[in-house]
Each structure stands twice: as C-alpha cells, then as structure tokens.
C-alpha cells in the first residue's frame, strides 16, 4: 500500500512596536510532524 502525505509548512513573523522599541519574533511550523507522530504511536 502506498500513501502520499501532504503537510502544511509555513513561517510566521510578528513585530510589536512599544514606544521606541520594536520586538520581532519568528516561528517555523511543520504541519506533518504531529500527523507522523500519531501514525508512529
């Protein structure tokens, strides 16, 4: 049996300005990771 797995992978960037400071954070998400972990369990 052959199965094709398609997951969503994306990156998100957030910037927050507070007074004279600008804070930036970034995240990378691989949507297939949780699905593959569930298959392995």
Are the CB atoms for 26 and 13 separated by under 8 Å? yes
Model confidence over 1-39: pLDDT tens digits? 776 666 678 888 999 999 999 999 999 888 778 778 888
| pLDDT, position 5 | 66
Nearest in space to 35 (alpha carbons), one of 11, 6, 12 = 6
**Does the model's pTM come out above 0.95?**
no
Closest CA to 23 of 14, 32, 11: 14
CA–CA dist 33, 5 (Å, integer):
11
Residue 21 contacts residue 31 (beta carbons within 8 Å): no
Alpha-carbon Rg for the chain in angstroms: 17
pLDDT at 29: 81
């Amino acid at each position: 049996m052959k199965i094709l797995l398609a997951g969503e992978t994306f990156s998100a960037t957030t910037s927050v300005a507070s007074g004279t400071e600008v804070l930036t954070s970034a995240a990378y998400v691989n949507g297939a990771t949780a699905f593959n972990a569930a298959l392995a369990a």
